[in-house]
Structure 1
Amino acid sequence: MSWLKRNQNVEQLETEVQQIDQGIPLKWLDADKASGLVTGTTWGVPWHRGQLARDEALELVSEQGESLPVQSWPTAYWPDGSVKWTAHAAQLAHTGKERFVLRKAAPSSQAIPGKQEGIKVTEDDAGITVDNGAIISRIRKSGEVLIDSLAFPQAKDISIAQSGKLKLIVSDAPGRTDGNRMAYTSHIAQVSVESYGSLRTVIVIRGAHRPAASPSGADQAVEDEHLLPFIVRLIFYHAQATIGLKHTLIIDGDPAQHAIAGIGISFEVPMQGELFNRHIRFAGEQGWFSEAAKGLISFKLPGFIEPKYRDQLQGKKVDWNVQDEQEQQYKQLLEDAAIWNDYKLVQLTPDSYTIQKRTSAACAWVRSIYGTRARGLMYVGSEAGGIGLGLKHFWKLSPSGFELSGLGSEQAEVTLWLWSPEAAAMDLRHYDTTTHVLSSYEGAHELRSTPHGIAHTSDCMLHLSASTPDLEQLEQLAAILEYTPLLICEPERYHATGVFGRYSLPDYHTEGHRKMEEALESIWKFYLQEIEQRKWYGFWDYGDVMHSYDPVRHTWKYDVGGCAWQNTELVPNKWLWYSFLRTGEPSLFYMAEAMTRHTSETDLYHLGPYQGLGSRHNVLHYGCGCKEARIGMATLHRFYYYLTADERIGEIMDEVKDADYRTVTLDPMRAYFPKDEHATHARSGPDWSAFCANWLVQWERHESEHYVNKIKAGIESLKQSPHRLLDGPTFGYDPDTGRLSYMGHENYDYHMMICMGGPQVWLELAELLEDETWRDMLAELGAFYNLSPEEKSNRSNQAFAGHSQRWSIPMLSTLIMAYASEYYEDDELGKQAWSFLTNVTNHWQLDRLQPQSVDRLEYPYPIQEVTGLTTNTASQWSLNVIMCKAYIGHLL
């Protein structure tokens, strides 16, 4: 009997009736970050195999038993056709204290409002109009303007903001500010309704940038130039004046020729009314920079004006009492005051921003404020209303910024800079002119460092307001910008359903378990501290962590080839996501979310010759000559997709489904096996296991028989190999059939099979396919891996030599050993697995981390360090402990 069935018989039978009758409890991810607003939110819920049929309706219920409008759709299926994951959208009060229940709806229940009550979408040849009840958005299908206008339904012909488009500044001098700069603008290629619902609708706009204005005498080739594809998603919730905007930029230029000097999103904002009522707001570290085109301050502030001045800075309309002679005299005095037309906030580094303003382009900028970490929200408006623009992780993604021009004119322009033109132009060239394979652990002698095809996605927000929000309202908007409201299940729900395979929940019932849990917590908390301590921030870097540590310089090896950025090596993504799933800890979610957003975009190629492959760890995220499928395999990202229904992540997981075909032109084993009769070569792990990871997601999301058959073809090939999964690990590979061809055994390092996420994929497939032979093959590998050379030779009829350099690093094998221990009911094998996690004294074993302070003269600022630590060890040790506690926890 499979583990999943056993699990269902024990856990599910105890809870199934209660869950079906009473529903699935839901809570907010982070009660401490609640905004207090009624806000749109989207989340995912897992289901037991066979529990939910695809035609069954669901309803959302408050703690008080009130049925709430909810939009639901399936995102994954079990092999039997039942629903594995559902996604849901709703508008809910976000105070952090509310609890909800999702349950099956009675046949007569109305789970979502009718289309007439919810979002309305109309389409014609010119564009798409979305009326969500709070905003009418007109989206163009061609040209440079993406969003034609944003207006309120009660005055749909009066734009609050208009002419929303993208800005791109390109320099011919990478890394410098003195190069020639050329302005590009957005050019739409395609617009479509990606998903439609009464409560949530997504419009996707695709295109590229072209020169905003052709230089004098330019030929047609220049005018027709297109550069840097973009994808913009607009996310609408019913009755919400806030629109989510996800901006994806894909690099397709030559970094020696084209250097990005600015990436922006801009709108025109019509200005009406008195200058006193035209406002600018910037979110600072904790409060707000608040000014107007003309403030009520003069060289001397009269007492009778001060209350009005305070109200002005709160956004209240300034009205002058025509009967009050003092007020009229003061108003006349202010006719002489300067009009501040232009403002900008520039966040050049994670710890430094500047706010400046000026009266006109003919005059100097005046510094208003130096600060550290601006929170990434700007509001601009007048008596006619205004718009707020925001960027999630604003200071973490520096250099970023905001710019406003023309506050005192009839029409202002506001720009959110995702890369500020105040910074040096982006330099995406390699860090050296050659590779350093021997000295620096770089993966190949070939210099394949190229950003061509990498991407970056920014999570942004638009908010329309009929009048200037007060500071408390702005604070609420800043909260939902940085901490997207998300409902989650209890950890027990994720665990019991088996949707991500088998892992453990926290367990402290013995001293051994307690020590393991304390060590697990100390490791992820240390990395959380390191992100801040080492300033692992920046447009291209935020979300990743470093690979190896230099105890002499007291720094990570940021400049040593393959020892710098981690780039999903040894799957830290899975470590963080499983850690979150078992605890529900918000900080773990934020770490894993940032890593998912980064690694799915920047470490992976989305177009060009390497599309579907990623770059191995390096000084630059795209710098290593090894381009492999394992870096961007879909199972690294599906946690985030199923928990949030993020469309961009779903798109990326589909992009990699045929990554195996890329290996025909870039064989991952080209340095070891010359071209032969096989189309290409693949190691059973991490190459074929990564292909399986991609196909597993295609199977569960789209019920694709084609991709599950490719999985089965590979498994059947291994079954027919002389020693099954023990052979290889390098095989000939045919991407057309998915078959692996035997080429011998011990022909590459076996630890690569088991440290890149392969065991988690294989064990999950064993349950989904219900293939007893495949289970036996996995158990055989777990029992064989750490045998002595003599035992390996005897068990294989002298076929295997069992050299330690091939069967190395026992700690990495502990999950597959734990599986074998349970499968064979061999406690001694399980005890040996625990010994590799607890007693081994080399760098692949960890205990509770105890950071030590560094001598104050040996590093530029005070830090704490753990010498000898590698992220390889941290992620694999933690992941194996989490998994082993599920299989052999009774032996700890």
Structure 2
Amino acid sequence: MKTNDRATLAWLGKPPALASGATWGVPWKEGALHRDASLALRGRSGTKVAVQSWPTAYWPDGSVKWTAHAAMFPAGGAEEGYALEIGEGVRAEAPLVVKETDAAVEVDTGAMSCALNRSGASIIREMLRDGVPVCTDGRLVGVREARVRTSGRNAVALEPIESAVERTTVEQAGPIRAVVKIAGRHRIEGSGRKWLPFTLRLYFYAGAASVRAVHTFLYDGNPHQDFIRGLGIRFSVPMKGPLYNRHIRFAGDTGGFAESPKGLMTFRLPERQRSLYERQTAGACIVLDESEDAELLSLLDDSPVWGDFKLTQQTADSYAIVKRTKEGCGWIRAAVGGRSGGLAYAGGEGGGLAVGVRRFWEKFPSALEASGADRDEASVTAWFWSPDAPAMDLRHYDTETHVRSCYEGADELRSTPYGVGNTSELTWWCCDGTPDAETFAAMVREKESPPLLVCEPARFYETKALGAWSLPDRSTPLKVQLEDTLDRLVRFYQDEIEQRRWYGFWDYGDVMHSYDPVRHTWRYDIGGCAWQNTELAPNIWLWYMFLRSGREDVFRFAEAMTRHTSEVDVYHIGEYAGLGSRHNVLHWGCGCKEARIGMAGLHKYYYYLTADERIGDIMDEAKDADYATLRLDPMRAYFAKDEFPTHTRSGPDWSAFCSNWLVQWERYEDAAYRDKMLRGVECLKGMPHRLLTGPVFGYEPKTGELMYFGDENYGHHLMICMGGAQVWQEMAMLLKDPEWDRMLAEYGEFYNLPKEEKARRTGGALQGKDWNIPMLSTAMMAFAADRDKNRALAEQAWDYLLRSGFGWSVTMPLEARPVPRLEYIRPIQEIPWISTNTVSQWSINLIVCLELIGEHLPDSIEMLAAVAAGREAK
């Protein structure tokens, strides 16, 4: 069998311990997979596994570029690795069944069934296991804190909110995987006002008694009046049997909290009672004998009934578990801990429901609550934002901007959260009994690291389905040093996330921009120097690092950044829909709203590797982002309104549009978006100096036409450092247009020419103004050197990358040093010169240069210096 016909797969991390469904993506070389071909999944033992497959992207020749696959793996039966191959597979023995009626969508996995409403407040009508209800009336819940000023005093009103379903859509109907999307808004009880649009996707697998959910809400309120005090999802869970056979479980730091509404612990604990108590605490159903246990039954009649239990994760490092007997009575502290596993269970005789929130402590303040455990039905709530925490405060940090002192992007104060989103992930299990400790721990692991199969790095590399980048190479001393530095940079930021506690509902997944070595902290309060917000494409850096290594920790780092930056940093509705906010103290704080913050090329790695439908939605949202420039000209601060509909820069604006269009073209084979991209390319070909022109142009979004607007009218480094170089080089691979290739090569060769040479070549039109920061151009130089076999240009690129005299290079070896203990609030380590801009772009350019001009890299920095000195002498 040809290598192209077979993809070797391994688990990202450990194989699943529970019966689990998994969805993953596989790339294919151009021409290798026909769209009508069948695919089979085979374990290393040779056993075929039923698999559901579908295409997610196509090559220009019509062959399949990416496929997505779903399979179900039995408890403890998943093999260490699998192979996906062209050929006939096996059918699912017991496929799931999806039925649609006017009122509901019903999904039967074989292990459980679920009825989903098409309207009303209740999303999940009921979930059954073996025909017995495990939960009913699953709905979104929350609290709005309304702040008003009346009679000279501030007043606060707390208003309950709940889901109002508007559309329930079956997006996939098996045979192995089904996806149902529920969309609607939250309704405020009392006023009836509907706000906070939401989508909730539910994922079902044949044979699974669990459901995975992805919940997204968008903020569409007034941040000065509409404060979200709580937001979550609630289930009603039947509680059967005597109170001592009902169980509440919370996952702690390591083990679990296990209690019942009526515990068997009393002031005395005779031997038989102790044995029963141990069995009760372990989750077993116990039987009390009216004669033998008469005294115990009498004591139980007198003992308190604990009806309500709650675990609240107040910070990334602290949670508390409390309980109370009934409403109106005080909460009693039961336990405290550091970082909860984020899983709760409530049930009685016959079973119950376990609910887990992913990234529970990382996205604090969160909570899990089981109330009414002493009644016929308990309410189990997973809070994405705990109502016991202060309300979300989404207001800007000031009433004015600070452009000159704080590097904020515009004099206009356009800080608004209106239109930003946040996505949370959950898993719940329909249990036929109280999970034992090992099963409970396995549930925590599975919801935190959902099972995922991935290809080996060589396949990602060979297919070129995500552009051109290098595999690790340690064949020379300098290459060893470079690979070590790449690894250490990732490790530094992983450590920094933990050291600086970059956690929280609105912040988790992002990193900060610039460091302050005097205060020994990042510039969290200096306008444009705080949160990174995809500036200089750290997403691409992290995804390159995963693709070339296959490391689980790097994947999870990149995944968290993708989830955050695609939601919080981008506007999904409202005036700025299609645009994102430049880096700032608040993720939505900067007055610069630009398309490049949320371009599809930043997120498509995650989409193709996981087939995540929410990311697919976001990439679709971006396809017409260029029209947003009609509402908000990106060059409005520099040029007055003129005869052009709007303005755009070839990079990072037009390059971001191309990224969006490229994804639409490859996902849907939509020729209209391909042609819009080609229209811009043709316009650049006709410019006086082709890609060297501008970079600001007049622009018509309806046609994609770029119109001449002058030369050297903005900084050229911004054309390439926001992911533009990677977008353009991927376009070269797909368009196969020799003239476009020549334009890119011309740009790479021209960028660092002396000013006099720039002027000579262009008849004085280009005087060398704003061709800044040579390191940022090295990937473009490498493209030119590789295409034109220009060794001298390759050596110059390596010199700029590794010996930059402009403060835009990474110091090797990379070493963090301790901060004197009295100079910061606690012991920390720091790298005083660190800059995420530098790290991101240095790493991206290095990875690309190793691929394109790695053969011209000397064995050591000293040899590189000698080469550079010789070139300068000439």
Bin the TM-score by the shorter chain. over 0.9
Q: Distance in 1 between matches of 2:774 and 2:95?
A: 57
Residue matched to 1:558: 524
TM-score by length of 1: 0.94
Match of 1:71 among 40, 52, 56: 52
Q: Secondary structure at the match of 2:335?
A: strand
AA paired with 1:887?
L
What corresponds to 1:165 in structure 2? Answer: 139
Q: How does 1:130-169 map to 2 (within 5 A)?
A: 130-152=107-129, 154-155=130-131, 158-169=132-143
CA distance in 2, matches of 1:437, 1:94: 57
Q: Is 1:189 matched with 2:200?
A: no
Deviation above 3 Å: which 4+ runs of structure 1? Answer: 93-97
Shift of 1:404: 1.4
Select which of 777, 797, 801 maps to 1:837. 801
Find 1:283's aligned residue among 251, 254, 267.
251
Amino acid at match of 1:262: G
Aligned partner of residue 673 in structure 2, secondary structure:
helix
- CA deviation after TM superposition for structure 1 residue 849, in Å: 1.6
191-200 or 714-723, which deviates more: 191-200
Q: 2:786 aligns with which of 795, 800, 822?
A: 822
Distance of 2:802 and 2:492 partners within structure 1? 19
AA at the equivalent of 2:201: R
Q: Tell me the equivalent position of 1:773.
A: 739
Corresponding residue number in structure 1 for 2:672: 706
Q: Percent identity?
A: 52
What are the within-5 Å matches in structure 2 for residues 839-858 of structure 1? 839-846=803-810, 847-858=812-823
Aligned to 2:9: 26
Q: Which residue of 2 aligns with 1:785?
A: 751
Q: Distance in 2 between matches of 1:299 and 1:831?
A: 81
Would you say 1:267 and 2:210 are equivalent positions? no
Structure 2 match to 1:113: 92
Structure 2 residue aligned with 1:13? none
Match of 2:272 in 1: 304
Q: How far apart are the structure 1 equivalents of 2:196 and 2:69?
A: 33
| Equivalent pair of 1:811/1:836 in contact (CA under 8 Å) | yes
Structure 1 Cα separation of the partners of residues 540 and 824 of structure 2: 32
CA distance in 2, matches of 1:751, 1:780: 15
CA distance in 2, matches of 1:825, 1:745: 29
Picking from 743, 748, 773, the partner of 1:809 is 773
Report the equivalent of 1:876.
841
Determine the structure 2 residue equivalent to 1:508.
474
How far residue 843 of structure 1 moved from its aligned partner, in angstroms, is 2.5
Counterpart of 2:92 in 1: which secondary structure? coil
- Partners of 1:706 and 1:119 lie apart in 2 by 37
Aligned ranges 1:459-608 → 2 under 5 Å: 459-608=425-574
Give the superposed CA RMSD.
1.5
Distance 1:394 1:860, change over 3 A: same
Q: Distance in 2 between matches of 1:520 and 1:497?
A: 23
The aligned residue for residue 70 of structure 2 is 89
Residue in 2 aligned with 1:347? 313
Do the aligned partners of 2:4 and 2:29 also contact (CA within 8 Å) in 1? no
Q: How does 1:308-707 map to 2 (within 5 A)?
A: 308-322=276-290, 325=292, 327-707=293-673
Distance 2:155 2:826 in 1: 32
Change (3 A) 1:76 1:841: same
CA distance in 1, matches of 2:79, 2:42: 15
Cα drift, residue 766 of structure 1: 0.7
CA distance in 2, matches of 1:523, 1:749: 28
How much has 1:211 moved relative to structure 2? 1.9
The question of whether the paired residues in 2 share the 8 Å contact of 1:277 and 1:312 is answered with yes
Corresponding residue for residue 869 of structure 2: none
Q: Secondary structure at the match of 1:396?
A: coil
Tell me if the contact between 1:523 and 1:848 (Cα under 8 Å) persists in the aligned partners.
no
Pairing 1:99–2:81 present: yes
Q: Do 1:269 and 1:413's aligned partners in 2 also have CA atoms closer than 8 Å?
A: yes
Calculate the TM-score normalised by the size of structure 2.
Answer: 0.96
The CA distance in 2 between the partners of 1:587 and 1:405, in whole Å, is 36
In structure 1, the partner of 2:871 is none
Secondary structure at the aligned position of 2:143 is classed as strand
Q: Which amino acid aligns with 1:746?
A: E
**Superposed, which structure 2 residues align to 1:165-244 within 5 Å?**
165-173=139-147, 179-212=156-189, 214=190, 222-223=191-192, 225-244=193-212
Q: Distance in 2 between matches of 1:372 and 1:587?
A: 21
Which amino acid is 1:872 matched to? N
Q: Partners in 2 of 1:577 and 1:131 — Cα distance?
A: 36
Partners of 2:531 and 2:822 in 1: how far apart?
26
Letter aligned with residue 37 of structure 1: L
Distance 2:214 2:803 in 1: 47
Mark the runs of 5 or more structure 1 residues left unpaired by the alignment. Answer: 1-15, 215-221
CA shift, 1:309, in A, is 1.4
**Equivalent-residue separation in structure 2 for 1:841 and 1:555 (angstroms):** 25
Q: Which AA in structure 2 matches 1:46?
A: P
Report the CA distance shift for 1:772/1:94 in structure 2 as closer, same or farther (over 3 A). farther
Partner letter of residue 165 of structure 1? Answer: R
Following the alignment from structure 1 to structure 2, what is the Cα–Cα distance between the partners of residues 329 and 168? 44
CA distance in 1, matches of 2:795, 2:314: 53
Q: Any gaps of 5 or more consecutive residues in structure 2?
A: 858-874
- How many angstroms does 1:761 deviate by? 0.7
Q: Is the 8 A contact 1:173 1:425 kept in 2?
A: no
| Aligned-residue offset at 1:465 | 0.6
Deviation (angstroms), 1:311: 1.4
Q: Distance in 2 between matches of 1:417 and 1:408?
A: 21
